[in-house]
Amino acid sequence: MTPETAPTVRQLLDFYLEAGVDCALTEVPVNRLSDPDRPLAMAAAPASPVGATAPAIAAVRAEAAATPEAALQSAREAARTAPTLEALRALLEQFDGCALKSTATRLVFADGNPQARIMFVGEAPGREEDLEGLPFVGRSGKLLDRMMATIGLDRTSVYIANVIPWRPPGNRTPTPQETQICLPFIQRQIELVNPDILVTLGNPSTQTLLSTREGIMRTRGRWFDYDTGTRLIRAIATFHPAYLLRSPSYKRLAWQDLRAIAKAMEAATVFSA
Ligand code: URA
């Protein structure tokens, strides 16, 4: 039998890339099978917190090795205590309850204007977002910018965030548990921004925030009430720009959604004048 030749470095790298492994987490390899108790990644020494209270910070740090249930509980309590967006960001910087943090380069909190009347929410950051620390800066972000521009919006007049603020490794789909743990933070972020209109981009964001199990083909273009706990916000679902890049024929429907959004913004202006 002829022995198989060893793969070249290039073939190995291609194999890893195809499997979604596109970044190194540490300088040297770690054999996790030999030491199952080793944590997945060493959290960096936390920077001094800005704005969040000391008990809240202590609570979120304590979750590093806790169970998912404890992490969820801690996320709920921490998010509820954040009085401002800056405090919420500081809490997330310190929060160790979501494993995605340990593989991401940095937190991707938000972009745009915190005073905006309209807020867009996507699923999770991709590679470019992870490197820059800002949501929607890659290819799909460029399309989102063009979509917003068609109705006279740009990043000075909108606020943009994601349900998950850390990039899942290799852009894999976040697990339901990761989504649940991050949910209290995006809910608090929406409550603090308090926009007149909330736009969910794509299925995961729509299903998570608008509590629907229907697919985007059925939910897009429909208005929902999003309850912050203190106020009902008008919310609408539309296609994720990454989906539109893959299926450009749906841009026609996305354009209808954008027109509905523009009309609702006009109505909200007249109503509040
Ligand atoms: N896709 C998202 O859902 N969010 C981003 O920030 C980038 C791509």
Cβ–ligand 1 contact at 206 (below 6 Å): no
**Is residue 132 very low, low, confident or very high in pLDDT (cuts 50, 70, 90)?**
very high
Tokens of 27: 């300088």
3 state DSSP class of 240: coil
Could you tell me which residues are beta bridge partners of residue 159?
112, 119
pLDDT-derived band at 269, boundaries 50, 70, 90:
confident
At residue 156, the pLDDT reads 98
Q: pLDDT tens-digit profile of 26-68?
A: 666 766 566 555 544 433 334 444 555 655 555 555 544 468 8
Cα–Cα distance between 94 and 185 in angstroms, integer? 13
CA of 99 to the centre of ligand 1 (A): 18
**Residue 182, ligand 1, Cβ within 6 A:** no
Rounded Cα gap, residues 27 and 24, in angstroms: 7
Give the residue, out of 143, 162, 164, with the most ligand 1 atoms within 8 A of its beta carbon, to mutate for a pocket test: 162
Whole-angstrom distance, CA of residue 62 vs CA of residue 181: 15
From 111, 127, 136, the mutation candidate for ligand 1 (largest count of ligand atoms within 8 A of CB) is 136
Which pLDDT belongs to residue 254?
Answer: 98
pLDDT score, position 8: 81
Range 85-98 average pLDDT: 97
Is the predicted pLDDT of residue 135 greater than 70, yes or no?
A: yes
State if residue 116 touches ligand 1 by the CB under 6 angstroms criterion. Answer: no
Q: What is the CA(135)–ligand 1 centre distance, in A?
A: 6
- Can you tell me the mean pLDDT for 125-130? 98
Confidence band for 227, pLDDT divided at 50, 70 and 90: very high
Could you read off the pLDDT of 166-199 as tens digits, one per residue? 999 999 999 999 999 999 999 999 999 999 999 9
Residue 55 in tokens: 């008990």
What pTM was computed for the model?
0.81
Measured in Å, residue 213 CA sits from the centre of ligand 1 at: 21
Per-state percent for the chain, helix, strand, coil, to nearest 5 = 45, 10, 40
Q: What is the Cα gyration radius of the chain? A: 20
**Cβ of 129 below 6 Å from ligand 1:** yes
